[in-house]
Structure formats: structure tokens, C-alpha cells
Amino acid sequence: MCENKDNHAKHMAEASRISREKMHAGLGGPFGAVIVKNGVVIGVGFNKVTTENDPTAHAEVVAIREACKHLDTFKLDGAVIYTSCEPCPMCLASIYWARLDRIYYANSRYDAARIGFDDEFLYGEIAKDIKDRTLEMVHLPDDVAAIAFDEWQEKEDKIAY
């Protein structure tokens, strides 16, 4: 990335400003995110979990959705994200799926845990063997599900992602 330090500070300041503004407006938790590609902001997000009754509406996911709509694509390679907090496991996975090039974050997952957010707990759960997780997971094989995977593998007109 050829962005200079001043641009990094500017974009992080915007993500942090959004987190405070939307939190104080009663729109969600203290999280904001900005996605930038070639020096241009292409997506902005803030936490909307409680206002949209959507546990997946974290700032990073909202920003990814906006950026993808803006560029009319599901791949954000060449873009970076500035977020006011180290992404939770769901947001981190979403960032990987979106193919962003880099993550810049302000607060850490430990800071989030200190104020009552589950990020650190979730990171710990993911690291555990499936049988040791708090949430029971049951493997229930299904023939049709297996066939769908076989068909996907052979599908010639699939769009890989």
C-alpha cells in the first residue's frame, strides 16, 4: 500500500469518529469502520446490531456490504479497512472472504473484552476442538448436501469465491 502515514491517521480518525458519533446517537456499540481503495473511501460502517436487530451488523460487515455494493463486486482486493477495534472472529472472517489487503485497527480485542464484548471469548472458542466448545455442534451428514458439493466441484459455469 502506498498510502502515507497521514492518510492512515485520517482514515483511522474517521472510523473512530463514526464509532463515537453513532454510539452517542444511540445507534449501536462503539464501533466504526472505513474501507479505502486507491485513496478513496468506498465503504463506511458502524455497529447496527441493536437498531437493526441483526447480530451480524457489525461495523466491518456493514462497511464491507456498502463497499461491495459501491463497486458492484464481492471481492475487495486492493482495498484496506480501518476499524476502531480489532475485528471479532466473524468480522475477521468476513474481511478474509472479501479479500481485503490489510486491516488497520485502534482498540484491541482485549480492550473490547474489558468493556463487556465477547470477542476474546469467541476467539477462544474457535481455537478449541469442536467437542470442547460451549455451543454444541453435531455432525449430521446428508446425502443431498454431499451431492451438492460434488455437483459444485464439477459445475463448469461456477463463479469461484
Residue positions annotated with a catalytic role: 60
**Residue matched to cell numbers 458439493:** 149
What is the C-alpha end-to-end distance of the chain, expressed in Å? 23
Torsion of Cα atoms, 141 then 143 then 148 then 153, to 10°: 80
Query: From CA 139, how far away is CA 85, in angstroms rounded?
Result: 33
Cα–Cα separations (whole angstroms), residue 66 to 33, 56, 107, 124: 11, 14, 23, 30
- For residues 109 and 123, the answer to whether their CB atoms sit within 8 Å is yes
**5 vs 14: CA distance, rounded Å:** 14
Burial classification of residue 90, based on how many CB atoms lie within 10 Å of its CB (0-12 exposed, 13-18 middle, 19 or more buried): middle
